[in-house]
Structure 1
Amino acid sequence: MLQIALWKRATIWAMVLIGLVLAMPNLFYERVERHNDAVQAIEIQGATPELAAARDAWPGWLPNGLVNLGLDLRGGAHLLAEVKVSDVYADRMDALWPDVRDALRDVRDEVGPIRRVDSPPAELHVRLSRPDGLAAAIEAARALARPTVTLTGVGSSDIEVRGAGDLLIVQLSEAERLATDDRTIQQSLEIVRRRVDEVGTREPTIQRQGSNRILIQVPGIGSAEELKALIGTTARLTFHPVVSRTGNPNEAPGAGNVVYPSMEDEGVYYVLEKAPVVSGEELTDAQPAFDQNGLPSVTFRFNPAGARKFGLYTQENVGSPFAIVLDDEVISAPVIREAILGGSGQITGNFTVEDSTQLAVLLRAGALPAELTFLEERTIGPELGADSIEAGKIASLAAFAAVLVFMWASYGLFGFFANLALIVNVGLIFGLLSLIGATLTLPGIAGIVLTIGMAVDANVLVFERIREELKTARGPARAIELGYEKALSAIFDANITTFIIAAILFTMGSGPVKGFAVTLGLGILTSVFTAIYVTRLMVVLWMERRRPKTITV
């Protein structure tokens, strides 16, 4: 006889109820979305009457998870950026120069006075006064090498040292360049993701393409230009000693110095030491604020290492000016009045409130390690997304209606039970998508449509098996029980192989392919659950209530 324990029945109905409740917010998408945005805004900036009204439009005790809409459904911006990894090579050589200089001082008697000269980005050229001391210089520089451990360069050194006449040439090794490229791309990915997350966009797609490119897709943002303005700024904040102030941009700065323009005063330029005292990489926080005159500014705080270096420098240079530099422009060059030992400070300049807010966002996210060149940009309007959603709805409803009619015509009352389970199945899919915060794309809708078509396969197997058992079994209850038992292995085999394919698509694919794989995989799980448990429970309840002597499938 068909028997399902009470606790199993309660568990099945509880899972169905939870899934449908989780899916329910999607029926009120715009209202719930405004509620979620209002809650987030209130946490950041406090409550206003408008935000409070939007928050209260949806009960706080109800689930508020939504299926996020992808770029092709919501509209937004698409960018393909190339990272100029060669910029990092030059920074590495600049950072290595003080160590090379100190190492050569130890063999000064053999090499004589030294001078750094112009070189390619990945090389450091040092001219020796005494070429006969080149061997000693090479040996001293090689002592600075460190091992590079990568998949392709285990045991390699990070630098290679050679000589040419009176030049000592230090360059990054091939293994170190590959490792640097990989670190630069990964760091750029993380910083772009932080900057996009700072403005509260929903489910952006930010991933690596090829060796030095990044794909950025952000749903809901106004235009590609807006996205470029957010992520394209390098926002490299550094603090430099000031050598002099000049009005001539072509003035020779001298060895180890650079000339940067003033952001505040047009026509004014500063000669600065090229090596910074401390950089923005050592910032831990930056917030928009107002200075003592009520003008917009940005407050910042260093980590312990940065605070120690900043405090030591200001303590030793009271009365001297130092420059705050952002992206090769001097924001301001104040005179150090007293030692700044707290590890925090304030950046002032010709800022608007929007400027100070955006600068704080960029500094909090960190500096891009290299410049981004945008190779492709595209803005997708919300109208196109609305058309895609409408087309997806039509396709889903058409598939849904066709399956319902087929099951009803083929299996009668049992087909009606399967149709109810199919409706539950679609609700459970959206409930799971909402629970995990998945992003629904147009290929994802295709996955749901495919799931609708495949969802009844298990029921068809069971019902056909029941038909066969009715010819030999003793009574309808026994036929139903044997039908479910004997069809179970075929149901699991078919769905497990499809689920494996979905897992492979998710692992190996990207973007739209992953969206399709997610909905297909979740659809398989919910289809098996509804076919084996929900439909069977409906049949059992009907059998217990009607107790028919014969049944027709």
Structure 2
Amino acid sequence: MLVVVICFGLLYALPNIYGEDPAIQISGSNTAEIDVATRDQVKKLLSDNHIQPKSLVYDNKSILIRVGDNDTQLKAKELISEALGEKYIVALNLAPATPAWLTVLGAEPMKLGLDLRGGVHFLMEVDMTTALSKLTQQSIENIKAEFTNSKLNYKTISKDSNQQIVMQFDNTEDRNKAITKINGIQDYKVISQRDNSIVINVSEQRLQQAKNDAVQQNTTILRNRVNQLGVAEPIVQRQGADRIVVELPGIQDTALAKRILGATATLEFRQVNEESTSNLPAILNGDKRIPYGSEIQYMEDGRPVLLYKRIVLTGDHITDSSYRVNQYGQPEVAITLDGSGGKRMLDFTQKNLHKAMATLFVEYKDTGKRDENDKPIFEKQERVINVATIQGIFSDRFQVTGIGSIDEAKNLSLLLRAGALIAPIQIIEERTVGPSMGQENITQGLESCAWGLLISVIFMLVMYRLFGVFASLALVANLILIVGAMSLLPGATLSMPGIAGIVLTVGMAVDANVLINERIKEELSNGRGVQHAINEGYAGAWSSIFDANLTTLITAVILYAVGTGSIKGFAITLGIGIVTSMFTSIVGTRALANLIYGGRRVNKLSI
């Protein structure tokens, strides 16, 4: 069993000695997709410029090119970026150089964190002003719908500079009915009133929920975007009330990462105001006013569309989308919604069958200006992607039709799958760790492990002779098993704190053998026989070893449960090291002792 376990650990630890190749990762974007023609174009480009890649793999709609050195990597990346243009994502990366026979067995190297592999670190802040402004606007539309359904009268409804809702009435009677209605609606409360007006606040609980949802959903969407970059073991996690940490190991192109992560586009589904569409020319000429509760938006070709302001559904409810050509030869996009989105769409389509619905593309761009709180000011830009007629009642699955071409359908589908940020985000901290610095950290980490192992081995050999050799072999086996386990675990990432956990484990791993060997010495000094002393040494020390390691393991579990980032990395290696050290220190050394001294009469131990 011991031999099998160690060989298994050694097999999965082997990929870590082969290192990584400099690589170029080519991915599609919202307006372009990687195909065989793109691969052939890249191959020809490299050949024409006398660049011989180690390999060029086209898989899962992306291309990975391995090259021999960093200079070739930079040259190839520049050439490819210039040839393909901005429609494609061309990123510097690092790819494992694991032999094919190990890859077939599922053996891969450990995932290295940002501090070891190099890459980019971003601290991003969610623009809560925009998120709360959207909540207030949506609340206004909801209140309008409630008043219409209840046949209650009001004069105007709007929001003020403090994101509060102000309603005006023609008389006191209408105002009093409105107060009763508003206080009966969950999430809203009347905070002040005058003769013919009231001020409504969204409840604190709903505000906190909106803030939390904005950060949580943006975190999920950023994680989806990062996954499309092909980054190995990225870190995307929430920090505090309105911030998100993004770490991309192996990515050296900061501008690319900022462009992908900072895209603040979203989608809105709106109903078209068909009743007033015939008056659109007069409205555009200024002869007539825009109907209350409506607004004019424009399609990409400049054609105006009159839409209701109330949002039927936003893009964050979309879970999947795909494009295809329907039975009439027309392109369309099939969309799948989550549970709440499906319910809202069902309610809407039941009431608006055969009416037009528009898909509005909304983007927030940084103006470069800042407000009094030093927050960036975003400019909202909108355009109508398409207008389609609701042909039947549907809920969580439907098709968007009326799209001009199959390419437009493909682009729309990619946009929907990528996800849309709930609120704009700003990068407030940016840090780049170069590959050379990461390699220096790895070297220092390996040196610390080597020194820790060497000192422990010398101590055990001096103190316990042959049993010190057993303990030293167990230490080496323990390191092999830790590396093998870290390589096998899909979610484990090795960082500098993780290396610290390994070094600590090396020092702690000999504790068990010290207890065992001292117990054996004690039994021998009491006149026990050699075989009896060995047996009593392992049996008597077991309870102390188990208790000591169990308490440390509990601490590691707690660190992993409540910690973040580097703390989790330390907890993972510490926890794995405790489990493997108990196996090698007890089972491993006992097997070696039985191999040397078992089954024969021995008068003296080398201990």
Asked if TM exceeds 0.5, the reply is: yes
- TM (norm. structure 2) is 0.73
- The answer to whether the aligner puts 1:175 opposite 2:229 as a matched pair is no
Flag the 1:279–1:207 CA change in 2: closer, same or farther, 3 A.
closer
* Counterpart residue number, 1:26: 16
- Cα contact 2:154–2:174 (8 A) shared by 1: no
- The answer to whether the aligner puts 1:496 opposite 2:545 as a matched pair is no
- The answer to whether the aligner puts 1:399 opposite 2:488 as a matched pair is no
Moved more, 205-214 or 528-537: 205-214
* Counterpart residue number, 1:73: 116
- The answer to whether the aligner puts 1:58 opposite 2:94 as a matched pair is no
- Cα contact 2:190–2:198 (8 A) shared by 1: no
What does 1:406-417 correspond to in 2, within 5 Å? 406-417=459-470
SS at match of 1:505: helix
- The answer to whether the aligner puts 1:345 opposite 2:394 as a matched pair is no
- The answer to whether the aligner puts 1:385 opposite 2:438 as a matched pair is yes
Flag the 1:50–1:400 CA change in 2: closer, same or farther, 3 A.
closer
Flag the 1:506–1:397 CA change in 2: closer, same or farther, 3 A.
same
- Cα contact 2:119–2:248 (8 A) shared by 1: yes
The root-mean-square deviation of aligned C-alpha atoms, in Å, is: 4.1
- Cα contact 1:281–1:367 (8 A) shared by 2: yes
- Cα contact 1:21–1:431 (8 A) shared by 2: yes
Flag the 1:376–1:478 CA change in 2: closer, same or farther, 3 A.
same
* Counterpart residue number, 1:436: 489
Q: Deviations over 1:245-285 (max 9, x none)?
A: 89999x986643445565555xx876643223443234342
* Counterpart residue number, 2:362: 326
- Cα contact 1:425–1:530 (8 A) shared by 2: yes
| 318, 333, 337: which one aligns with 1:283 | 318
- Cα contact 1:73–1:441 (8 A) shared by 2: yes
CA distance in 2, matches of 1:48, 1:402: 43
- Cα contact 2:387–2:402 (8 A) shared by 1: no
- Cα contact 1:264–1:331 (8 A) shared by 2: no
- Cα contact 2:325–2:332 (8 A) shared by 1: yes
* Counterpart residue number, 2:377: none
- TM (norm. structure 1) is 0.79
Q: Deviations over 1:335-378 (max 9, x none)?
A: 6589488822369699999x976x75552243222221222111
Amino acid of the structure 1 residue aligned with 2:182: A
Flag the 1:499–1:174 CA change in 2: closer, same or farther, 3 A.
same
- The answer to whether the aligner puts 1:192 opposite 2:208 as a matched pair is no
Amino acid of the structure 2 residue aligned with 1:363: L
What does 1:265-280 correspond to in 2, within 5 Å? 272-280=307-315
* Counterpart residue number, 2:60: 44
What does 1:45-444 correspond to in 2, within 5 Å? 45=61, 57-59=100-102, 61-105=104-148, 112-120=153-161, 122-143=163-184, 145-146=185-186, 157=187, 159-160=189-190, 162-240=192-270, 241=272, 244=280, 255-258=292-295, 260=297, 263=300, 272-287=307-322, 299-303=333-337, 316-317=354-355, 322=358, 324-327=360-363, 329-332=381-384, 336=388, 339=391, 343-345=398-400, 360=413, 362-437=415-490, 438-444=492-498
Amino acid of the structure 2 residue aligned with 1:516: F
CA distance in 1, matches of 2:531, 2:131: 74
* Counterpart residue number, 1:540: 594
CA distance in 2, matches of 1:394, 1:451: 15
CA distance in 2, matches of 1:223, 1:72: 16
- Cα contact 1:277–1:309 (8 A) shared by 2: no
| 510, 519, 527: which one aligns with 1:456 | 510
SS at match of 2:18: helix
Flag the 1:48–1:504 CA change in 2: closer, same or farther, 3 A.
closer
Amino acid of the structure 1 residue aligned with 2:5: M
- Cα contact 2:179–2:190 (8 A) shared by 1: no
| 562, 571, 579: which one aligns with 1:508 | 562
Q: Number of residue pairs matched? A: 513
Amino acid of the structure 1 residue aligned with 2:454: A
* Counterpart residue number, 2:4: 14
Q: Deviations over 1:430-474 (max 9, x none)?
A: 122122221000111111111112211211222222222222233
CA distance in 2, matches of 1:506, 1:174: 32
Identity %, equivalent residues: 32
Q: Deviations over 1:303-358 (max 9, x none)?
A: 4557757877996347xx945423254555656589488822369699999x976x
Amino acid of the structure 2 residue aligned with 1:137: A
CA distance in 1, matches of 2:472, 2:427: 50
Amino acid of the structure 1 residue aligned with 2:20: E
Q: Deviations over 1:464-492 (max 9, x none)?
A: 22222222233321221122222223322
CA distance in 1, matches of 2:511, 2:481: 17
Amino acid of the structure 2 residue aligned with 1:68: K
For residue 102 of structure 1, report the CA deviation from its aligned partner.
Answer: 4.0
Flag the 1:360–1:382 CA change in 2: closer, same or farther, 3 A.
farther
Q: Which has the higher strand share?
A: 2
For residue 84 of structure 1, report the CA deviation from its aligned partner.
Answer: 2.5
- Cα contact 1:424–1:530 (8 A) shared by 2: yes
